DNA sequence: GCCAACGTTGGC
DNA sequence: GCCAACGTTGGC
C-alpha cells in the first residue's frame, strides 16, 4: 500500500508549484483538522503503525507523498476516516497531524516556538512531565512526534524543498537557531555543505544564505576561517583543565557571554599568569603543562569590577600580580588568580569551588592521585624509549619539566583516596603499540581497561580524573583523553584507530555523507571500540547477548540502563543503598558483568573482522 | 530489554 | 559553524 502510494507521488501535483504560504497554510490547517478527526474518530488507529509503515514513512522518499496525500485529502474533504481495505492514513500522518495540530494556525514567525516545543519535550526537565503527558495523548511515539514538524515549503531551492528553523532551548548555545532543509527526495540537510552537495549540479548556492534561506543579490557569501587555536582552550575549559589560560580561542560563543570581549586584552606574559596561577592553585590541582606556559598566548581576563587600572596583588609565591588576571569567584566571592571558570564557562569560579562543583555536578568524575602500581609493564620498564613525545620533549627542552617516558608510565596506577583500588587510566593514543599484533601489550592494556571500566551500567561508569602529585607523572596525553568523550572508545584498538568508515554498515549508510538521513548518528560499526563501545553498536553481535556462541564474553559494553524515567530495581537498590552518596565507594558495588577475562577469543575474532574489513 | 531516534556536545 | 557521534529517551 505504501508503495502504491509512493508511486503516485510523481504523478501528483508538485507542492512546490503552489504559492508557498498558501500551500503551507492550507495543508497545515487541513492536517490539523484531520488530526482532530482522526484522533476523535479512530484513535485506535495509531497503534496500527508497524515498523514497516514507519520505515516507509521515515523513508525520505515519502515526504513528497505526504504533500500529495494532503492534497488528495483536501479534495476529498475533511472526512479522513479510514476504512477497511484502504491505506490507513493514520499511520501516515499521525505525527504530522499532531505536529500540525499543534502547529495549526501558526505563521512562520512562530516556527521557533514550535520547534522549541518539540525540543522542550525532551530537554526541559520538571514541567516537561506534565507537558509530555498531555502531548503524548496525541503523540504516541517520539520518533513520529516531530521530525516532520515545522517544515515550510521553500521553493526557492526548487520544487518540494522545505525549510525548518529550530531554536535551541537548552545547552550552552541556547537561543541559537538551526536551519534545516528537506529535499523533495527526503534529503535532510543540516548544513550548508550538505545542501550544496545535495543540490550540486542543480542549483548554484554560491550566493545562497543558508540561514535565511535566500540568495544574495550580488553579494559574495562570507567566507569562514577556522581558528585552530581554539582547540586547546576549549578542550581545557570544557573538561578538566579549565584553569588553563585561554588562548585565541577565547572568542568562542562561551567566552562572549563570559566577559565583555572588548575588555579582554591579550598577550599577558607567560610568567605572569602561569606561574602565579600554579602557585595559587596549590599542589592539589593539576599543574599546567610547561608547553602551555611557554607557548600559549594567554588572555588576561578582566575582573568583574570595572576597575581600569590593574592593582598589584601579591601572589602566594611572591610574584607581583595585577588585578587584571585576578578573578572573583562567582560562588564564594574570593579573589583568585588564573582563569578558572565554572562548568559552563560563564562565571569565574575559584579552584576550590570548581572542584567542589565538579564533585557535586559530575559525580561520575573522580579526582584521584596517581600513584604507579609498580607492577605493570610501564613500571617495570626502566629504559626510556627515546621516541615518544615525552622523551623527545625532554631531549628538546631538558630545562623544562620532565615527563616520564610514555613507555615507562604506569598503565594501572593505584589511586589515593577511597575506593581507589583497581582504577586505571586509559593509555594515551601514542602509547599504543605500532602494530595491532602486539597482543601482550594489548592484553595488558585491555585487562586494565576492563578493570577500570568494570561497569555494565553507564550510570556506574565513572570518568576518572587523575590529579597528579608529581609533575613527572603527567603527560599531555592524560589531559587529552580526559577531555574527550571516551566512554565509548579506548583509543587504542584497531577499531578506534580506524579513521575510515566502511560505508556499508547501517550506521554508515545512515550518514549524510553516504546519502543517509542521519537518524542513527552512530559511528561506523567497524570503528566502534571493541572494548568500550556499546555492545549493540559492534559489528557482529547485534542482537546477541553478552556471550558469543563459544561462551566467551563478547567485547563491548552491554547496554546501559538509563533509569531517569524508568527506575530499574538495580537503580533503586543502588539509590537506596547509597543515597546521594557519590563517593568512590560505589566502585565496590559495580557489577562485574563485563570485567571477566579480556574475552580473548572474541577479541581476536573481532580484530580479525576489523582487519579483514 | 532492545532498538530507533535525536538532542546535545566536543572537536575541528 | 559544521560535523561526528555520544548519551539518553520513548516506544515496542
Question: A36: which 3 cell numbers?
Answer: 482532530
Taking alpha carbons only, the member of A394, A413, A397 closest to residue A405 is A394
* pLDDT for position A613: 58
Whether residue A33 is contained in a domain is answered as no
pLDDT in tens, A251-277: 333 333 333 333 333 333 333 333 233
The last residue of a domain, from among A537, A563, A590:
A537
Among the listed ranges A230-239, A474-483, A558-567, which one has the minimum average pLDDT value?
Answer: A230-239
- For residue A513, pLDDT over 60 is answered with yes
* Domain total in chain A: 2
* pLDDT for position A588: 35
> How many Å apart are A126 CA and C9 C1'?
15
Name the nucleotide with the smallest C1'–CA separation from A506: B4
- Return the CATH number at A169: 3.30.890.10
Whether residue A146 is contained in a domain is answered as no
pLDDT band per the 50, 70, 90 thresholds, residue A552: low
pLDDT in tens, A112-146: 333 333 333 333 333 333 333 333 334 333 333 34
Whether residue A474 is contained in a domain is answered as no
* pLDDT for position A292: 36
C1' of nucleotide B11: residue with nearest CA: A231
Mean pLDDT of A35-54: 36
- For residue A493, pLDDT over 70 is answered with yes
Residue A22 CB-density burial (10 A; 0-12 exposed, 13-18 middle, 19+ buried): exposed
DSSP characters for A277-321? HHHHH-TTSPPPPHHHHHHSPEEPPPPSS---S--EEE-TTS-EE
Whether residue A501 is contained in a domain is answered as yes
Whether residue A180 is contained in a domain is answered as yes
In sequence order, the 6+-apart residues with CB closer than 8 A to the CB of A1 are A87
Task: Specify the higher pLDDT residue, A352 or A579.
Answer: A352
**pTM of the model as a whole:** 0.28
pLDDT in tens, A149-175: 567 777 778 777 777 776 665 554 555
pLDDT band per the 50, 70, 90 thresholds, residue A203: confident
Whether residue A385 is contained in a domain is answered as no
Residue A58 parent element (H or E)? helix A51-58
Rg (CA), chain A: 28
Whether residue A174 is contained in a domain is answered as yes
Whether residue A511 is contained in a domain is answered as yes
Among chain A residues 101-160, those with CB within 7 Å of any atom of strand B: 118-119, 122-123, 142-143, 145-147
pLDDT in tens, A223-235: 333 333 333 333 3
Would you say the C-beta of A559 is within 7 Å of strand B?
Answer: yes
The last residue of a domain, from among A186, A205, A224:
A205
- For residue A458, pLDDT over 70 is answered with no
Separation of alpha carbons A20 and A178, rounded Å: 21
Chain C positions under 7 Å from a protein CB?
A: 1-12
pLDDT in tens, A372-430: 555 556 656 666 666 665 555 555 544 433 455 556 655 544 433 333 333 333 333 33
Q: In angstroms, what CA-CA distances link A413 with A363, A450, A466, A588?
A: 21, 14, 10, 17
Would you say the C-beta of A371 is within 7 Å of strand B?
Answer: no
* pLDDT for position A174: 55
Mean pLDDT of A469-488: 45
Work out the percent of chain A whose per-residue pLDDT is above 70. 18
The last residue of a domain, from among A503, A519, A537:
A537
A194 is in which domain, residue-wise?
Answer: 152-205
Task: Specify the higher pLDDT residue, A2 or A381.
Answer: A381
Block residue for cell numbers 551500567: A457
Among chain A residues 509-538, those with CB within 7 Å of any atom of strand C: 511-513, 521-524, 527-528, 533-534, 537
Identify whether the C-beta of residue A351 lies closer than 8 Å to the C-beta of residue A316. no
- For residue A444, pLDDT over 80 is answered with no
pLDDT band per the 50, 70, 90 thresholds, residue A509: confident
Amino acid at each position: 500500500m505504501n508503495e502504491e502510494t509512493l508511486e503516485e507521488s510523481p504523478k501528483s501535483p508538485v507542492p512546490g508549484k503552489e504559492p508557498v504560504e498558501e500551500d503551507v497554510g492550507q495543508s497545515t490547517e487541513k492536517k490539523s483538522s484531520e488530526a482532530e478527526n482522526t484522533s476523535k474518530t479512530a484513535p485506535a488507529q495509531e497503534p496500527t503503525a508497524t515498523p514497516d509503515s514507519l520505515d516507509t514513512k521515515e523513508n525520505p522518499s515519502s515526504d513528497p507523498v505526504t504533500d500529495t496525500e494532503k492534497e488528495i485529502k483536501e479534495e476529498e474533504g475533511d472526512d479522513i476516516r479510514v476504512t477497511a481495505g484502504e491505506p490507513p492514513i493514520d499511520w501516515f500522518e499521525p505525527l504530522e497531524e499532531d505536529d500540525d495540530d499543534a502547529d495549526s494556525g501558526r505563521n512562520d514567525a512562530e516556527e521557533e516556538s514550535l520547534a522549541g516545543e518539540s525540543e522542550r519535550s525532551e530537554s526541559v526537565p520538571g514541567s516537561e512531565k506534565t507537558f509530555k503527558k498531555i502531548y503524548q495523548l496525541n503523540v504516541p511515539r517520539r520518533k513520529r512526534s516531530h521530525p516532520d514538524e515545522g517544515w515550510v515549503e521553500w521553493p526557492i531551492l526548487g520544487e518540494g524543498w522545505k525549510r525548518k528553523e529550530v531554536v535551541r532551548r537548552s545547552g550552552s548555545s541556547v537561543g541559537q537557531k538551526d536551519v534545516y532543509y528537506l529535499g523533495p527526495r527526503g534529503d535532510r540537510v543540516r548544513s550548508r555543505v550538505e545542501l550544496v552537495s545535495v543540490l550540486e549540479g542543480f542549483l548554484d548556492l554560491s550566493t545562497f544564505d543558508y540561514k535565511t534561506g535566500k540568495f544574495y543579490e550580488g553579494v559574495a557569501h562570507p567566507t569562514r576561517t577556522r581558528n585552530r587555536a581554539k582547540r586547546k582552550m576549549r578542550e581545557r575549559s570544557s573538561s578538566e583543565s579549565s584553569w588553563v589560560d585561554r588562548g585565541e580561542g577565547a572568542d568562542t560563543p562561551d567566552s562572549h557571554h563570559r566577559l565583555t570581549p572588548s575588555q579582554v586584552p591579550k598577550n599577558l606574559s607567560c610568567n605572569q599568569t602561569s606561574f602565579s596561577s600554579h602557585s595559587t592553585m596549590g599542589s592539589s590541582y593539576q599543574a599546567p603543562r610547561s608547553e602551555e606556559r611557554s607557548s600559549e598566548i594567554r588572555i588576561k581576563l578582566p575582573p568583574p569590577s570595572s576597575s581600569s587600572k590593574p592593582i598589584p596583588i601579591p601572589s602566594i609565591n611572591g610574584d607581583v600580580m595585577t588585578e587584571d588576571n585576578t578573578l572573583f569567584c562567582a560562588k564564594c566571592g574570593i579573589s583568585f588568580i588564573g582563569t578558572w571558570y565554572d562548568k559552563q564557562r560563564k562565571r569565574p569560579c575559584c579552584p576550590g569551588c570548581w572542584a567542589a562543583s565538579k564533585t557535586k555536578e559530575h559525580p561520575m568524575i573522580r579526582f584521584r592521585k596517581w600513584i604507579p602500581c609498580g607492577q605493570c609493564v610501564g613500571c617495570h620498564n626502566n629504559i626510556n624509549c627515546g621516541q615518544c613525545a615525552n622523551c623527545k620533549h625532554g631531549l628538546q627542552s631538558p630545562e623544562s619539566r620532565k615527563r616520564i617516558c610514555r613507555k615507562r608510565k604506569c598503565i594501572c596506577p593505584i589511586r589515593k583516596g577511597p575506593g581507589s583500588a583497581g582504577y586505571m587510566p586509559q593509555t594515551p593514543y601514542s602509547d599504543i603499540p605500532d602494530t595491532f599484533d602486539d597482543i601482550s601489550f594489548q592484553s595488558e592494556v585491555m585487562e586494565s581497561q576492563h578493570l577500570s571500566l568494570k561497569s555494565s551500567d553507564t550510570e556506574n561508569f565513572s570518568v576518572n580524573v587523575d590529579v597528579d602529585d608529581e609533575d613527572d607523572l603527567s603527560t599531555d596525553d592524560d589531559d587529552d583523553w580526559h577531555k574527550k568523550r571516551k566512554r565509548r572508545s579506548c583509543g587504542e584498538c584497531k577499531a578506534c584507530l580506524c579513521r575510515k568508515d566502511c560505508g556499508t554498515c547501517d550506521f554508515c549508510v545512515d550518514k549524510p555523507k553516504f546519502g543517509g538521513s542521519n537518524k542513527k548518528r552512530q559511528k561506523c560499526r567497524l570503528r566502534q571500540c571493541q572494548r568500550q563501545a556499546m555492545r549493540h553498536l559492534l559489528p557482529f553481535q547485534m542482537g546477541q547477548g553478552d556471550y558469543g556462541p563459544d561462551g566467551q564474553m563478547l567485547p563491548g559494553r552491554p547496554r546501559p540502563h538509563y533509569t531517569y524515567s524508568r527506575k530499574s530495581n538495580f537503580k533503586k537498590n543502588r539509590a537506596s543503598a547509597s543515597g546521594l552518596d557519590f563517593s568512590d565507594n560505589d566502585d565496590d558495588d559495580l557489577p562485574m558483568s563485563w570485567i571477566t577475562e579480556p574475552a580473548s577469543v572474541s577479541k581476536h575474532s573481532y580484530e580479525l573482522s576489523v582487519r579483514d574489513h
